[in-house]
Structure 1
Amino acid sequence: MLYHHISLLTRHKEENIHFYTEILGLRFVKNTVNQENYRMPHLFYGDYQGSAGSVITFFAVPHLGHRYDNREYLAEIGLNLPKNSLSYWQERIEKFGVSYEAKENTIILHDPDDVLITLTETQISSLEKNKLVLNEIPADRQIIDIRAIHFYVENPAATIDFFEKLLDWSFVDNRYEPQANHYVAILQSQSTEKTRMGRGSIDHIAFAVENDESLEALHQKALSQNWQVEKLITRGYFKSLYIREPGGIRVEFATLKPGFTLDEDLEHLGETLALPPFLADQRTEIEAHLYPDK
């Protein structure tokens, strides 16, 4: 497993929920808050289980300004589709009035915050039965998982060196592809101007780590190699290590457990504001100060 989740910024919470659940058909698996700023809603989407590798999250910030993807940024979220599902998705996207471009086995579209999304048809038959979202989209048409992310940096060689030394990845033509239908691309940015975060910015990409012991080993390796380690922290639903790669982009490594059923039953994920145990006693104050949608 390569990916754990990807986290972005959105301006309008309800518009965001509509796009990712009603149009893309993902499950709203967790409605919580940014643990660095409790006023900020943190929205999680994924398959029925909220499985690592399927999850896309958004920090909702009203009045968020325009983003400027310049010197260093993440872009082009790739998602995998089952085989023979491309025509279904073209018709579905047209039905919702979303503009798109069809290119070979891929549909290219943008979400309401102008996030570039690609839906690529694969040879995978469908999601596992226990991961299927309970909605109108047929089982053999539902989005499977995260396919790809693209790093845009001033010095791709330095970022590649980071991943090769820390994770023992091997790149071919600036691309790491550990298995079919999953890859990471490191590309040259076209500007030396500083990137400015805004609506639709990707805050970070998170890669999956098996358990706490593996994460701690990675932490020690990163320290010994003198990378820019930001923090090692428990998020409740998983434990996370944050590192800035040489281009300045935040990279997270997150454990597979405990998972999203830590504070909610599987059948009721995302239905109410969820707070991990260490925030539970602050619920009244947190609920009173959440950012409004607009």
Structure 2
Amino acid sequence: MTHSPAGRLQGLFEGRRLTPTQRRIAHCMVRHADEVPFLSSVELAELAGVSQPSVTRFAVALGFDGYPALRRDLRERVPAAPAAAAEANGYQQAVEGEIANLRRLADFLADPGPLERAGRLLAGSRPLPVLGLRAAAAQARGFAYFAAKVHPDVRLLDEGGTMLVDRIDAARLAGASALLCFALPRHPREVVEALAYARERGLRVVTVADSAFAPVAAESDVLVPGAVGTGLAFDTACAPMLLGRVLLEAMCDALPDAQARLERFDARAADRGLFAE
């Protein structure tokens, strides 16, 4: 499979221990993979919102003599893209951006190992807490809605505050072994703290985030990235939503009675006349 520019860049950062500032630069580079190889260190610093010396230190941390050497490597990894035939309007550009995000997700899924591992963790947890606050609440709610059809005990955690830790405790005391988190920008500090607490309590954390460099990465046992679109006033999250459904499929594959549960639900729905079609 041909990897996208972002996928090629991702390989440069894998296995590296990066500081928060360096993760921010790496995240910026992945999101702007097509243009980054042709930016100066000053331009990249401005794009990432960091200082120019931080970009230089970042290049050295990756094993290069300096930023010029890193840029030469980037140009080999990410060839220049052909010019667009016509200038697209802002709405079209937002759609094209999401299409690019989905291509990156397809590249990531070429190795199904992380998803299969995550699916087994979620399938084996009784109950299964699903966390998502603020922008990620809709993703968590959507996953929990469908997961409840095949998993015997799904607990949605979509409200923060002092009760959040209590609900994590309750899930752990009831036998939970894993927690699924959806984490999207801007990342609430409360989510990072909740994941740290969940791991202290012995839960394995599976996270769907916008980037492998998101603030929640350090508190996740398995992190699966799905980039958000930034072309509109508010972020769009097609890739994280699709990734949630793929993760749901992996969980179903690890649940021996998933199909039987679905068939029972369909039979009950038919008896009740639940759906119009």
User: Structure 2 length as normaliser, TM-score?
Assistant: 0.26
User: When you count strand as a share of all residues, which structure comes out higher?
Assistant: 1
User: Structure 1 length as normaliser, TM-score?
Assistant: 0.25
